[in-house]
Structure 1
Amino acid sequence: MLSTGPEDCEYAVEMACSNIRYGPGVSREVGKDLANMKAKKVMLVTDKNLEQLAPVQVVRESLMRENINFEVYSNTRVEPTDESFADAITFAKRGNFDAYLAVGGGSVIDTCKAANLYACNPDAEFLDFVNAPIGKGKPVTSALKPLIAVTTTAGTGSETTGVTIFDYLPLKAKTGIANRALKPTLGVVDPLTLLHLPNRVTCYTGFDVLCHALESFTAIAFNKRFPRPLDPQLRPAYQGSNPISDIWSKHALSICKDYFVRAVNNSEDLEARSEMHLASAFAGIGFGNAGVHLCHGMSYPISGLVKEYKSPDYTPDHPLIPHGLSVVITAPAVFRFIAPACPERHIEAAGILGADITNVKKSDAGAVLSDVLLKYMSELQIPNGISELGYTSDDIPALVAGTLPQERVTKLSPRKVDKDSITHMLEESLTIY
């Protein structure tokens, strides 16, 4: 693919992902993995709920069989914040660990990544590595400790990526750290860990998978992004759609078509949940290198400015809009907006998801993808727009203000956005059916 943009456009794409081990029961092997790494003291990161469930118990037994010394950190916050990260970082610095083990969903894995990063950079200020413009966006040049991520949701794909996301409380908006150094040494995908997941968690993490795949497939092309970095280590983790990520993203979509609804509706359907676990990893490899764009960019203030909303099947003691819900709620409006920039990709994605794309015109690309998304959303009982999450038209200026700093992802939109276009998409998302 040759660049057709400005002379200083990017011309290369760099593939990075964790080693992945997949199979029912493979989480029993992590003790042996850490023994093989010569780990002497391990920080086991999980959350209060999972700490009492089978996935963590299996891992603890594996560590004890190998006589691995470990300490459990279970204060992970669902949808972590800079403050909850700071607590985990303090624990990590005090413990002087030589390896890290995360057992949980994206919140747990992201917290573990942050603990590893800052324990290995004890003199760094917190904002040093946080994405610009909120943070300084410095590259990570130090070697981090080994990190094994046992993923217990079919959603975030964090076991494959060098990205960690959190709510930055001073701005009431999500941001993150994105650097290849953060990617786990090994991502463990054990379908047996999914059998504990309730309906809404399976649903919202599944929509995160779907949006990861769609956003990475429709992101700006890697060779249209500029300026290219002067130093390869400054090449961002999110590089735009590219021929390698496309393969993973499209395959994740095809799995969603066949197994997503089944996985949500039947907690004992191990085949469907296993396939969605793979789809999460595949989409993670796709977006971990291509990036996401507007659905995620607008999701950050939607979740960060939550008022009183609490979702069934989630048990935090604070208001919470689950990440996957905050992402998918604007997706129909987003894909209608960006479709003119890459209509062929919208039509292709809609076809993979099951839409009849026979004789679909390019001018209808956004509508056909939006319609198929709305069918999935309706069947799986997604709330009717951000109004049902507690927002009104009066809140839109604040949601726009929270989206504008998310340049790490919004700049990956294939169609340029501004305050007015973001406002329009949020207005369309007040009600969606």
Structure 2
Amino acid sequence: MSEQIFTYAAPALKFGRGAAAEIGYDVRGWGAKRVLLVTDAGVAAAGHPDTVAESLRGHGLEVVIFDRARVEPTDVSLEEAVAFARAEGPFDAVVAVGGGSAIDTAKAVALLVTNPGELMDYVNAPVGKARAPEQPVLPLVAVPTTTGTGSESTTICVMDVLALKVKTGISHAALRPKLAVVDPTFSATQPAGVVAAAGMDILCHALESYTARWYGDFAAKSPEQRVPYCGSNPIADLWSERALGLLATAFRAAVRRDLEGADAAEAADQMALAATFAGLGFGNAGVHIPHANAYPIAGRVRDFRPADYPDDEPMVPHGMAVSLTAPEAFRFTFDAAPERHLRAARLLDPAAEGNGPEVLPAVLARLMQDIGIPNGLAEVGYGEGDVDNLVDGALQQQRLLATAPKDVTGEDLAGIIRSSLSHW
């Protein structure tokens, strides 16, 4: 029998300029008295956590700050944050201020300060034990300062496992934040390189959830078997389509910084709204091949250092890693749902011509060129000799590959990755 039911869940949402200054009011309403604020050094230097801490303290809450969240978290960095929280606790709530890295760090903390065991007990199989939480996690407020990750809406905590050189995560409905506070003034100051990489994450969230396997094409499940990523469905589709439409008008302008005053503010607001919409879509429908490929691309980086990110160590930012195989991935999935791929292409570029599998990849390649995304895997340091290792890493992401609109073999992934060494 095929599945007849899809599920939808989302955090409470507060959106708008100045929303971050109201967080103290919201958290006090939960009965909290002592709060852990999680951020990273770069965001702390920008002053955004101070705004949130001031609001919390202004409503009578005690605030302890952890400002050592790592950009692109690792198992080691998450364990450090958890150890800090256990030593400084107890806490009644966690507030994350930052990009997906800070929010994912806070998710790990919220889980492990109330549940037994260690980090790897909860990491997705086959890397970890995929243990389910036994106790309620601490309530979490997620305040994104980048437009892209969608972590403020999702049930996922992503990390690099250093010893295995693989990117994986924890996935459970309990990790979804209780409240997402999206204040566009926090993300309006992102450097252009961050806007480009994080924006490609928004784009791929929307595209992958829109082209994911239809929920009714999965085998029927009992309630306890259903997972947050349930496949494309009518509600998630609405969010994805709206995100794509906003990106069509705002993305290039937000990266190029060729707007001023009210127009620049509007572009920043549209990017924040697109990120929110895409998060509400993929946080339920799921993502697939580009994200599965992105985990080993980011986890096995050698010496690539992107513009506008910390240069103290090599990294491929998550959104950039996702985008690097996206054109070829969507060429591969085209025949599973041609009409969806073509509609997505024309939402992004109404002038796109043609009706074949090359339309969406061409739209993506033009956009990537325009906003300065590297021309494929070769530009971030990978070559033909790396294909097998990247395939091995992607194959470990079966939770994501199961959401693809057609079955994906190792040979299929090798073809996608090999063809993604360069795009133009």
**TM above 0.5:** yes
User: Any idea what SS the aligned residue of 1:102 has?
Assistant: strand
Contact 1:147 1:184 in 2 (8 A): yes
User: Any idea what SS the aligned residue of 2:164 has?
Assistant: coil
Q: Distance in 2 between the 1:237 and 1:130 partners?
A: 16
Aligned-pair CA distance for 1:71? 0.8
Aligned-pair CA distance for 1:170? 2.6
Contact 1:78 1:316 in 2 (8 A): no
The match for 2:324 is 329
Aligned-pair CA distance for 1:355? 4.0
The match for 2:9 is 16
1:153 to 137, 146, 155: 146
User: Any idea what SS the aligned residue of 1:196 has?
Assistant: coil
Contact 1:139 1:234 in 2 (8 A): no
The match for 2:110 is 116
The match for 1:288 is 283
Deviations 1:176-222 (A, max 9, x none): 11111111111001011012210000111001000000000001111
Deviations 1:320-350 (A, max 9, x none): 1111110001111001011011111001101
User: Any idea what SS the aligned residue of 2:95 has?
Assistant: strand
The match for 1:312 is 307
Structure 2's unaligned 5+ residue stretches are none
Contact 1:217 1:345 in 2 (8 A): yes
Q: Distance in 2 between the 1:92 and 1:237 partners?
A: 27
Q: Distance in 2 between the 1:239 and 1:126 partners?
A: 25
The match for 2:50 is 57
User: Any idea what SS the aligned residue of 1:211 has?
Assistant: helix
Aligned-pair CA distance for 1:237? 1.1
Aligned-pair CA distance for 1:163? 1.1
Q: Distance in 1 between the 2:138 and 2:79 partners?
A: 18
Aligned-pair CA distance for 1:303? 0.4
1:229 equivalenced with 2:221 (yes/no): yes
* Identity in percent: 42
Q: Distance in 1 between the 2:225 and 2:93 partners?
A: 26
Q: Residues 255-294 of structure 1 correspond to what in structure 2 (within 5 A)? A: 255-266=246-257, 269-294=264-289
User: Any idea what SS the aligned residue of 2:169 has?
Assistant: strand
1:378 to 341, 355, 369: 369
1:245 equivalenced with 2:236 (yes/no): yes
Contact 1:54 1:193 in 2 (8 A): no
Structure 1's unaligned 5+ residue stretches are 1-6
Q: Residues 334-413 of structure 1 correspond to what in structure 2 (within 5 A)? A: 334-356=329-351, 360-361=354-355, 364=356, 366-413=357-404
Deviations 1:145-167 (A, max 9, x none): 21111111110111111111111
The match for 2:136 is 143
Deviations 1:8-54 (A, max 9, x none): x3221111111110110110011121222221111100001111213
The match for 1:45 is 38
Q: Distance in 2 between the 1:234 and 1:124 partners?
A: 23
Deviations 1:376-425 (A, max 9, x none): 11111111111010111111111111111110101111121111111111
User: Any idea what SS the aligned residue of 1:383 has?
Assistant: coil
Q: Residues 189-208 of structure 1 correspond to what in structure 2 (within 5 A)? A: 189-208=182-201
Contact 2:305 2:316 in 1 (8 A): yes
Whichever residue aligns with residue 150 of structure 1, its letter is V
Q: Distance in 2 between the 1:380 and 1:292 partners?
A: 23
Aligned-pair CA distance for 1:372? 0.6
Q: Distance in 1 between the 2:18 and 2:123 partners?
A: 35
User: Any idea what SS the aligned residue of 2:13 has?
Assistant: strand
User: Any idea what SS the aligned residue of 1:42 has?
Assistant: strand
Whichever residue aligns with residue 356 of structure 1, its letter is A
Contact 2:196 2:372 in 1 (8 A): no
Whichever residue aligns with residue 291 of structure 1, its letter is G
Contact 1:139 1:233 in 2 (8 A): no
User: Any idea what SS the aligned residue of 2:41 has?
Assistant: coil
Whichever residue aligns with residue 351 of structure 2, its letter is D
Whichever residue aligns with residue 334 of structure 2, its letter is A
User: Any idea what SS the aligned residue of 2:358 has?
Assistant: helix
Contact 1:355 1:368 in 2 (8 A): no
The alignment of Structure 1 onto Structure 2 pairs a total of residues equal to 419
1:32 to 25, 31, 52: 25
The match for 2:160 is 167
